[in-house]
Amino acid sequence: MASEWSKQENKLFEEAIAYYGEGAPDLWHKVARAIGGTKTAEEVRRHYEILEDDIKLIEARRVPFPKGEASEVPDDRK
């Protein structure tokens, strides 16, 4: 089961990925330490993979807009 990530953990995760770079040796361990040790290297790796999958879906336009957003666009802009 996936553990929940706080806003602070997500922020530290993003900062650590940017700092170390995606190709860094032992990246997941480094990011786990940067987060404060609240996540394991495996949890960090899985979180990254989930986010990667989300980005791929968004780029492929396979993620629907939340209800109401499309209707908020004025008719002349649709």
Q: Supply angle C-alpha 53, 40, 21, rounded to 5.
A: 60
**12 occurs within a structural domain:** yes
**51 occurs within a structural domain:** yes
- pLDDT computed for residue 78 by the predictor: 47
Q: How many CA atoms lie within 13 A of 6 on its CB side?
A: 7
**2 occurs within a structural domain:** no
- pLDDT computed for residue 16 by the predictor: 97
pLDDT digits 0-9 by tens, 56-71: 888 887 766 667 655 4
CATH number, domain containing residue 44: 1.10.10.60
The reported pTM is: 0.71
- Residue 26 structural domain: 7-59
